[in-house]
Amino acid sequence: MLANYLIGLREGLEAALVVGILVAYVVKTGNQHRLPYLWLGTGAAIVLSLAFGGVLTLTSHSLSDQAQHAFAGIVSIIAVGLVTWMVFWMRRTAREMRGELHGRLDSALNAGGIALAFVAFASVLREGLETALFLWAATNASSGTIPALGGALLGIGTAVLIGWAFYRGSLRLNLASFFTWTGALLIVVAAGVLAYAVRDLQEAGWLPGSANIAFDVSDTVSETSPLGTVLGGFFHFDPVTTWLQLITWVSYLAVVFSIYLRPQRAGAIVTAPAPSPTVGTTTSPGDS
């Protein structure tokens, strides 16, 4: 649940910031009458992301046990790859996000409402598909589906509230630090998901070493115990871990963190959406 809350919070806040930037700019330029198109595109992206998550679930349940393990392993590896790329991309380019979105919006506003809806759709869809994919993989690696999904929904709900507070200008938060720390935590979560992917592929017969156990603490740390729940919920800890799982987990963390913890160039910061002006005006607060 803790891991899924973090995923929902991190990915949800990215999407909320994107929407906040779009809405603030449309209102600031006096095009608030076109906001319904923006919400249409945003809503369509959310629906498609939910449908994508449903397709993953239905596909998995329709397969044989061995095929389920293979499918879960492959999808989990893809999810880890995308999330790892996203963490580095966000850390490197987030400071230019507003400028890029404003450039797209200028062209879309000149083209009409449908173009504006498409910009919102494309901007939110990427975040939604990444969220659906990684949440599915993380939930598959968890022992309880309902608590995991509950954590994700709680995280997304928190992200929406934070995004709204940013838009209204009532919240100040060091987003650079926020995304740096949550990115580091997501790397730890991704390492656990990747280790579970290895175990799934071992169970499917695609990888060797399923009988080569590095440690078995199932008698000491039960998955239903408080400690097992915390370890499993955040780290996706497997009480019975193979050597290949352990080597994969350690190698991923060592390689990814060695790159992630390198100092960034000066000035790489993340900016929040500007406070929204009063609807119906064309100047932002402070302009005179």
Residue 284: other Cβ atoms inside 10 A:
16
Amino acid making up residue 61: H
Extract the runs of DSSP E, i.e. beta strands, from the chain: 213-216, 240-242
Predicted confidence (pLDDT) per residue in 245-267, tens digit: 999 999 999 999 999 988 866 54
**166 pLDDT tier (thresholds 50, 70, 90):** confident
In degrees, rounded to 5, the angle at the alpha carbon of residue 22 between the alpha carbons of residues 181 and 90 is: 25
- Note the pTM of the prediction, 2 decimals: 0.75
pLDDT at residue number 233? 64
Distance CA 30, CA 36 (A): 14
Distance CA 229, CA 239 (A): 11
Range from 11-15, 102-106, 139-143 that averages highest in pLDDT: 11-15
- Give yes or no for residue 284 having a pLDDT over 60: no
Mean pLDDT of the chain: 81
Predicted confidence (pLDDT) per residue in 21-79, tens digit: 888 888 888 888 888 999 999 999 999 999 998 899 899 888 999 999 999 999 999 99
Share of the chain above pLDDT 90, in %: 29
Q: Is the Cβ–Cβ distance between 158 and 9 less than 8 Å?
A: yes
In degrees, rounded to 5, the angle at the alpha carbon of residue 241 between the alpha carbons of residues 239 and 247 is: 140
